[in-house]
Amino acid sequence: MMATRAKVGFAFFAVFLLGIAAGALSLSVYQRQAGPVRQAVWLGQFNRERYVRELRETVGLHPEQMGALNAVLDETREEFLELGRRLRPQFDEVRRRARQRIREILDADQQPRFETFITRWDERRRTEEQAVSRSRASEGKP
C-alpha cells in the first residue's frame, strides 16, 4: 500500500514537472515565432538605420527615393533638436520640482544619500548626452 502511494505521488510529481517543461517550451517557441518584442515606451533614441531599413522593406522604396527620404529625416531631426533646446528649461523645472518633493519625504539619514544619488545620476546623464553628441559629430551631424 505504501509503495502504491509513493508511485502515485511520484507520478503526480512527474506530470507536474512535464507540465512546467511543456509550458516553458511553448513559451520559447511562441516568443521566437512572435519575433522581438517592440519597445512599448520610447526611450529617447531614434534608430534611423532600422527605421529606413524597415520603411524601405515595407513600403518598397526605390533607390531614387532614398535621397529625398534622407533629406526629410535630416530636416525633421533638426526640428526635434531645436524643440528639445527650447523645452529643456521646462524639463529641468519639472525635474527640480520632482526632486524637491522626493526630498520632502526622506528622513535626515536619507537626504545625503539622495543628494549623492542625484549627483551620480546627473553625471551619468551628462556623460550619455556627450557620447551621443560626439557620435553625431563623428557622423557629420550637428
Say which residues have a Cβ less than 8 Å from residue 81's Cβ, sequence separation at least 6: 142
Predicted TM-score (pTM) of this structure: 0.52
pLDDT over threshold 90, residue 141? no
Q: Which residues of 67-100 are buried (b: 16+ CB within 10 A; e: fewer)?
A: eeeeeeeeeeeeeeeeeeeeeeeeeeeeeeeeee
Better-scored residue on pLDDT, 28 or 89: 89
Residue 9: pLDDT band (50, 70, 90) is: confident
Contact between 48 and 73 (Cβ < 8 Å): yes
Q: pLDDT tens digit string along 38-83?
A: 544 555 567 888 899 999 999 999 999 999 999 999 999 899 889 9
More confident residue, 62 or 31: 62
pLDDT at 110 over 70: yes
As given in the structure block, the three cell numbers for residue 60 are 518598397
Note the pLDDT of residue 40.
Answer: 47
Contact 102, 114 (CB under 8 A): yes
User: pLDDT: is 115 or 39 the higher one?
Assistant: 115
Helix, strand, coil percent content, the chain, rounded in steps of 5 = 85, 0, 15
Count of C-beta atoms within a 10 Å radius of residue 19: 10
